[in-house]
Structure 1
Amino acid sequence: MGKDGFPIKAAAWLALAAMFLSVAPNAAAQANSIFPKGWDSNVRDRLFMRLGYTSVLTKTKSDDARDITGPAVTRQDLIDAFNKGQQMSEDCDNALPSCEEYFNDNNGGNDYFQAKNLLIGYLDNLGMNGLGTPTGIKVKAEKQVGTPTVSVGFWLDDDRKWLLEGFVLAAPMEVKIYGDGVRANGSPNGLNGRHIVTTKLLPPLVIGSYHFGNRDSWIRPYLGVGATYAVFFGARTTSFFDQYQGGKTTVSTKNTFGAGPFVGLASPINDDWHVNVSVGQIKMDTTARLVTSGTQIQSGAAVIQDYPNTDPYNIVKAINFGEGLWKRDNPGKANGLTTTLMELVKRNRGGDSDLGTFVREQKIKLTNTIVTVSVGRSF
């Protein structure tokens, strides 16, 4: 039946449409007043309106998300943070006011430098300039959404072979976006299958088609081409996604144009009424931009587990190695090593309260199968 119950919704909407279109029996006769004198034979007789239900089934293919403003923490940030911790620890030996115990010989200081060298060495071997968006972060759109639609059609010739139909009214579709992708070892990443964003979509659609048979045929198949301009707006991130990103994230998606083939069947009920079914496919390319503000990276953050996690250059193992040392030597401290290093990074940046605002982008390809069931009435 489909995720959103398309057959049931379509049937219910068609019943309502039939009631709506039939409330004024004399409407066709009275409609002359809305057309200029002399237009009846040229325009009015070729016009009709359809009320229906449109369902969109979507397949998504996305590139990896990529950092536009660079990683949240660079390789040099990490080196400077370790050095800052060492300096403040040495200040304790000299009884200076800036004293704070981080990495010294009394709490396994040499082990921390081993951890630093391990992490920095792995970053260098992998060509990573720091800790930013992990590789393999992809997205996929909700598989099926639908909305009631209103369209107006105009026959371009007296034989009613060529038709131009425009969808002039539709409720915006609300589309859920889910995380996708795998880690370096092939396991699902922390976003895989999780609801991360909800956005609204308004896709005005125009279809030009050629109808086989004649105007009195009981059933008329047709072929055509449809074009749409998808407008995305009102995106909202989930709290889970904000937490994964390390801060409040806003999402904007570039509006995009698409076109593709359509087929359909139309069948008259009487001189005024007809039913219609159409199926088409439109492919679109778009880009989503994500802006995360107030960024924080803490020990145990889900994003850490999505960094490269296979030998010989296992970033996750290197981070966990340092975390284990810190827990061993600092059993009374609430913060782990990653949280501590990020605090030192912020100190080195002038005492900022967070790591800053960062921009990511993701290219997305959408293949949309568009199914419409409608009932129409001539003017």
Structure 2
Amino acid sequence: MKKSILTIALLSVISITNAADYKAGDIVVRGGVTNVTPNSDHSAVMLGGADSTMSLAVDDNAQIGLNFVYFYDKNWAIEVLAATPFTHDVTIYDPNAILNVDGAKLAEVSHLPPTVSAVYYFDTMNNIKPYLGLGLNYTVFFDEGFESAPKSLGLSNLALDGSFGLSIQAGFDFNLNQNWHINTSIRYIDIDTEATFDVGGNNIGKANISIDPTVFSVLIGYKF
């Protein structure tokens, strides 16, 4: 009886092991949760070209993550990262009470960070398939807007430039059967943007923001 149970278990492992192998032409679609955690460093705010002693920081946000992968062979693939728009609170730090808004929520900004990566899957003899990736990201910002309190202080017309940057990632697929798997990954994306805004109707406000987020994803995938 014990030998029969052991035999069934070994056959199950072999079946999953075979299911773990990708091949040329395979297409993988994934969906789940993606969390963007920006670099916590504060970005200096310039007014009229001079350091105002104020700074900005951007908080993290989680959204539905989407992922599409096309395999050229069992090791190499092209991956496209997509998601529903991320929305971040922007906090202003004002230690010298220039505007008396230290620690206040300054604004909200939304962005989409589509990323295309070349991915290399390592050969393994089990159902866990680790990989590394290198890619190019373009982040577009939209719906930038000041909160009502900053508006009352004369701040308006917030705008953030789009950003091109590199992305590096590491992750793995845990195959459940021939088609379904669980994916988890961590990546760093280089996102740098210039924020400009008006103060009292004059276009004198500027901050170079290094968002440079760490992106965590946990997704369910299906192989076609």
TM bucket, shorter chain: 0.7 to 0.9
Answer yes or no: is the 8 Å Cα contact 1:226–1:280 preserved in 2: no
How many angstroms apart in 2 are the aligned matches of 1:377 and 1:156? 17
Percent identity between the two aligned chains: 23
How many angstroms apart in 1 are the aligned matches of 2:168 and 2:24? 29
1:135 to 48, 52, 57: 52
TM-score normalised per structure 1: 0.49
Deviation at 1:134, TM superposition (A): 7.0
2:33 to 53, 76, 93: 53
Which letter does structure 1 place at the counterpart of 2:84?
A
Deviation at 1:280, TM superposition (A): 0.8
How many angstroms apart in 2 are the aligned matches of 1:277 and 1:145? 17
2:216 to 359, 362, 371: 371
TM-score normalised per structure 2: 0.81
Which letter does structure 2 place at the counterpart of 1:220?
K
Which letter does structure 2 place at the counterpart of 1:360?
G
Q: Which residue of 2 aligns with 1:91?
A: none
How many angstroms apart in 2 are the aligned matches of 1:193 and 1:371? 27
Unaligned runs of 5+ residues in structure 1 are: 1-40, 69-132, 296-355
Does residue 149 in structure 1 map to residue 65 in structure 2?
yes
How many angstroms apart in 2 are the aligned matches of 1:217 and 1:189? 59
CA shift in 2, pair 1:223/1:188, >3 Å? farther
1:164 to 78, 92, 97: 78
Which letter does structure 2 place at the counterpart of 1:48?
V
The 5 Å alignment of 1:21-170 reads 43=25, 46-59=26-39, 60-67=41-48, 135-142=52-59, 144-157=60-73, 160-168=74-82, 170=83
Deviation at 1:367, TM superposition (A): 2.2
Which structure has the greater CA radius of gyration?
1
- The number of equivalent residue pairs is 201
Does residue 362 in structure 1 map to residue 194 in structure 2?
no
CA shift in 2, pair 1:220/1:188, >3 Å? farther
The 5 Å alignment of 1:1-379 reads 43=25, 46-59=26-39, 60-67=41-48, 135-142=52-59, 144-157=60-73, 160-168=74-82, 170-183=83-96, 190-214=100-124, 217-244=126-153, 247=154, 249-292=156-199, 295=200, 356-379=201-224
Which letter does structure 2 place at the counterpart of 1:55?
N
How many angstroms apart in 2 are the aligned matches of 1:164 and 1:273? 19
**For residues 180-224 of structure 1, what are the alpha-carbon distances to aligned partners after superposition, in whole Å with 9 as ceiling and x for unaligned?**
2422xxx8972321001111111112232211124x621122111
Answer yes or no: is the 8 Å Cα contact 1:260–1:282 preserved in 2: yes
| CA RMSD after TM alignment | 2.2
Deviation at 1:256, TM superposition (A): 0.4
Which letter does structure 1 place at the counterpart of 2:206?
E
Q: Which residue of 2 aligns with 1:14?
A: none
Unaligned runs of 5+ residues in structure 2 are: 1-22
Deviation at 1:147, TM superposition (A): 0.9
**For residues 1-30 of structure 1, what are the alpha-carbon distances to aligned partners after superposition, in whole Å with 9 as ceiling and x for unaligned?**
xxxxxxxxxxxxxxxxxxxxxxxxxxxxxx
How many angstroms apart in 1 are the aligned matches of 2:98 and 2:130? 45
Deviation at 1:167, TM superposition (A): 2.3
CA shift in 2, pair 1:66/1:267, >3 Å? same
Which letter does structure 2 place at the counterpart of 1:148?
I
Secondary structure of the structure 1 residue equivalent to 2:45:
coil
The structure with the greater share of residues assigned to strand is 2
The structure with the greater share of residues assigned to helix is 1
Answer yes or no: is the 8 Å Cα contact 1:253–1:289 preserved in 2: yes
**For residues 260-291 of structure 1, what are the alpha-carbon distances to aligned partners after superposition, in whole Å with 9 as ceiling and x for unaligned?**
32111111111111111000112222100102
Which letter does structure 2 place at the counterpart of 1:167?
L
